Structure 1
């Protein structure tokens, strides 16, 4: 297996985003209420529900693409889905980073960077 590191990164990203999507779907109201408070002093204060929906959709796309991409690498049938999964993962993380910086939650932003590094590594390796 020449793609072990790429497979591991895709599994990591898939778990991250599918679990996050699950949390958003099944705890939608709690997430929206917490985020309304979190963004109450930002330009996003009236757009929390819509922004969260956009993020949810992108997270699910990212997670599914990463799963399919990992399967593709295991079966040696290509790397396109993994590449796009990694790219969508980076887009999700950049959206979250923007929100955290806007809310002046610098610890939250720092945490997102920890996830962004492996996502960029996956984009690089799968390109």
Structure 2
């Protein structure tokens, strides 16, 4: 079956790559362009947790992970649109990086005992993993 000149499988992959690309590029770049505000928020958020002393180190790590996930997904999206075979692998790598980012964020929320914040990440993780699995086909 085709829609808009694309197979449904390819269209699904494009949507997953686009969603992931938007989600993580925006989140990562927000941390880049509003670094101090985000850092202050996370320092306050984690002040009573075992991660309190590591926020300054972990903030650049999560920023890099999120931005890499988003940009890699967008590159994969572009390659898929252009019909390059590498598009599948690149977009899948973006989804994998996105999954890793979400696991890191989930860990932090659980350690900080922000259970509502951790729960809010679950739909994003499930969506990312569904897309990741889709790229196996």
Shorter chain as denominator, the TM-score bin is: over 0.9
Q: Any residues of structure 2 matched to 1:1-127 within 5 Å, and which?
A: 1-2=6-7, 3-78=10-85, 79-127=88-136
- With structure 1 as the length reference, what TM-score do the two structures score? 0.96
Query: What is the CA-CA distance between 1:58 and the residue it aligns to?
Result: 0.8
- Superposed CA RMSD in Å reads 0.9
Structure-1 residue corresponding to 2:3: none
- With structure 2 as the length reference, what TM-score do the two structures score? 0.89
Q: Which runs of 5+ in 2 are unaligned?
A: 1-5
Whole-angstrom CA distance in 1 between matches of 2:71 and 2:126? 20
Deviation per residue, 1:65-85 (Å, 9 max, x gap): 101111122222121100100
Count how many residue pairs are aligned between Structure 1 and Structure 2: 127
The higher radius of gyration belongs to 2
1:104 counterpart SS class? coil
Query: What is the CA-CA distance between 1:35 and the residue it aligns to?
Result: 0.7
Q: Which runs of 5+ in 1 are unaligned?
A: none
Whole-angstrom CA distance in 2 between matches of 1:68 and 1:25? 20
Whole-angstrom CA distance in 2 between matches of 1:37 and 1:63? 26
